Structure 1
Amino acid sequence: MSLLSPSLEAFWAVVQKGTVLEAAKMIDLTQTGVTQRIRSLEKQLGVTLFTRSRKGMRLTEEGESLLRYVQAARDLEGETLLNIGGKQTPAIKEVCISGPSSLMRTRIIPKASAVIKKYPQLRVRFDISDDNSAIGKLKSGFAQLGTLPANQVGRELDSKTLSPERHYFFGPASWKKRPLSDIVEKETPVDFDPQNTMTLDLLKKYKMNKAPKQGHYANNLDALCSLLIAGVGYSALSEEMARPYVKTGALVQLSSTHFVDQSLALAWYPRAEMPPYFKSLIEALTKKS
């Protein structure tokens, strides 16, 4: 049972599935019926909620605002029905957390696991992405919580600071005795993608980027570390992320004195009433270790 209006149910289904066809299947309605409900909702509000393309339906800015209302309403819906119905089974609650692989592996998943055990009806999607897309996924409603650089947190978001990530230069164990200056001069940097500037930032900090080289890229942590282990190049990795590879002797920290800290935050859109499980997630993920 849903307390949302039929039009809002159709809106939610389109957001979840991305197309009218799949939304129609989700709520057992014809495509025409879904389209009519969306158009009726747009007419009532006097706005356009979606832009339509070959890739599906994408939310407009107005659609993103409505989505946050619907998400808040759904948060309260389950508890309301439970209180009214007495013995009804609590509704499943879904939360998506988006962030980079380093934070997900070392902090987010371990800390969220305790909250998941506390709330049996909670279902969490860990969206691991190293392309700085968390802010966009928060805006689109794909994610409800995002870990991102602190300078990306806008005024429209609520946030709490996280402990910064400290990045050092890492490379294959065979380079352990090589001078860092020799490595930077002769070897190639490796990063997640061209937009990831952590290695360049570290080089700039110590004025070692007089002639920065075009780097190699691998948008997966294991693949990137495999390149480093194979001796293809060097990279600026977070200390937490590299620790398991250093422990096994596969990678080595190339310098203990060259590092850069990245300020981080956990962000979310404000909610009039924050459900207990959501509050618990925030408290657990931002708790200082």
Structure 2
Amino acid sequence: MGLSSLQLDAFFAAARALNFSQAAETLHITQSALSQRIKALESDLSLTLFTRLPRGVQLTEAGARLLRYCQARSSMEEELVEQLTSKESGLGGSLRIAGYSSIVRSVLLPALAPLLRDNPNVQAHIQNAEIRELPELLLTGNVDLIVTDTPIQRADIETIELGHEEYVMCQSAKAAGSDQRYLDHDPSDTTTHRFFMAQGRVVPEYQRAFLDETYAIIDGVAAGLGKAVLSRHLIARDKRIEVLKYKSMRTNVVMQHHKQPHYTGLQRAALTALASKCPGLLETRD
């Protein structure tokens, strides 16, 4: 049984927007027409692809699998059109990657920069997200690949180790600050608590302040606004920062993507670049 392109296009638009009204606008059809195409697809497959919510929809497990197929089909189509129509050599297509703040700027961008410079037709979308948000971005198809220190444990997810981060306790080398104030991203950030737990002793009481970006936390520490647990590779050469004598905490860094039978040339090149260059970029160089 073949799948209707019109029905798949309707499903793909709705799966990306998770909103039938927005998807219909994207396809320039009525919401009723979009709903009919999706119902016909569900009927042909004898599957439910969406569950309705008070606002919008969410994918079922079957819907998530079909979304990955649509994404793979779209990526291969982009690559083929680029090869057929471009007068320039090199790779084309879209590359969607998400990582957390201490990795994106210091590791992902340098690792991917040569690939992106050499292939100007690639449309890259590299986004920064909280670690807790990364699994949802991958599982809902909003990105093709994530870099995280908290891997998704699923058989259909490929996991590739990139190295590790070494976290250390830091304070300002010059500015006097509070001995009991510690800087985190937000109230749900557990980095400081986990660091104290890793010391193998009772977690002390401490005040918290929040700066919602890793490099803002580094600047806050340098300015004496408080202490913070930071990845050593980010502050190794920063003379404003002093590392305190605590046992360091190491976390593994991995990249994850959905397993699939075919990878485009761009996807293969990106995976190779990250696997080969990220380990060196994560190493600490004083």
TM-score normalised by the chain length of structure 2: 0.84
Residue of structure 1 in register with 2:166 after alignment: 166
Residue of structure 1 in register with 2:284 after alignment: none
Please say if residues 47 and 62 of structure 1, whose CA atoms lie closer than 8 Å, have aligned partners that are also in contact.
yes
What secondary structure is seen at the aligned counterpart in 2 of 1:133? Answer: helix
**Separation in 1 of the partners of 2:21 and 2:27?**
10
What secondary structure is seen at the aligned counterpart in 2 of 1:190? Answer: strand
**Residue 55 of structure 1: CA displacement?**
4.0
Residue of structure 1 in register with 2:283 after alignment: none
Residue of structure 1 in register with 2:143 after alignment: 143
**Separation in 2 of the partners of 1:6 and 1:114?**
38
Residue of structure 1 in register with 2:209 after alignment: 216
Superposed CA offset, 1:115-159 (max 9, x none): 222333321211201242211111110111001125534322112
Residue of structure 2 in register with 1:269 after alignment: 258
1:103 partnered with 2:96: no
**Residue 96 of structure 1: CA displacement?**
1.5
Please say if residues 165 and 232 of structure 2, whose CA atoms lie closer than 8 Å, have aligned partners that are also in contact.
yes
| AA of the residue aligned to 1:277 | L
Residue of structure 2 in register with 1:281 after alignment: 270
What secondary structure is seen at the aligned counterpart in 2 of 1:102? Answer: helix
**Residue 284 of structure 1: CA displacement?**
0.7
1:243-262 → structure 2 map (5 Å cutoff): 243=236, 246-247=238-239, 249=240, 251-255=241-245, 258-262=247-251
**Residue 113 of structure 1: CA displacement?**
1.7
**Residue 103 of structure 1: CA displacement?**
0.5
**Separation in 2 of the partners of 1:165 and 1:82?**
38
1:115-194 → structure 2 map (5 Å cutoff): 115-149=115-149, 151-174=151-174, 186-194=179-187
Superposed CA offset, 1:235-283 (max 9, x none): 1111123346x24x2x33233x531111111000011111111011111
Residue of structure 1 in register with 2:194 after alignment: 201
Please say if residues 82 and 93 of structure 2, whose CA atoms lie closer than 8 Å, have aligned partners that are also in contact.
no
**Separation in 2 of the partners of 1:54 and 1:121?**
40
1:2-151 → structure 2 map (5 Å cutoff): 5-80=5-80, 86-87=84-85, 93-149=93-149, 151=151
**Residue 206 of structure 1: CA displacement?**
2.1
Using the TM superposition, name which of 112-121 and 87-96 deviates more: 87-96
| AA of the residue aligned to 1:252 | E
| AA of the residue aligned to 1:50 | F
- For structure 2, the 5+ residue unaligned runs are 281-286
Q: CA RMSD in A?
A: 2.8
**Residue 161 of structure 1: CA displacement?**
0.2
**Separation in 1 of the partners of 2:188 and 2:85?**
51
Superposed CA offset, 1:2-59 (max 9, x none): x971111111112333322222222221111111111211222222222333543322
Please say if residues 167 and 259 of structure 1, whose CA atoms lie closer than 8 Å, have aligned partners that are also in contact.
yes
Please say if residues 64 and 140 of structure 2, whose CA atoms lie closer than 8 Å, have aligned partners that are also in contact.
yes
- For structure 1, the 5+ residue unaligned runs are none
**Separation in 1 of the partners of 2:168 and 2:34?**
52
**Residue 82 of structure 1: CA displacement?**
6.4
Please say if residues 102 and 240 of structure 1, whose CA atoms lie closer than 8 Å, have aligned partners that are also in contact.
no
**Separation in 1 of the partners of 2:163 and 2:82?**
38
- The change in CA–CA distance for 1:121 and 1:82 in structure 2 (over 3 A counts) is closer
1:229 partnered with 2:219: no
- The change in CA–CA distance for 1:48 and 1:169 in structure 2 (over 3 A counts) is same
Question: How many aligned positions are there?
Answer: 274
What secondary structure is seen at the aligned counterpart in 1 of 2:132? Answer: coil
**Separation in 1 of the partners of 2:151 and 2:131?**
15
Percent identity between matched residues is: 23
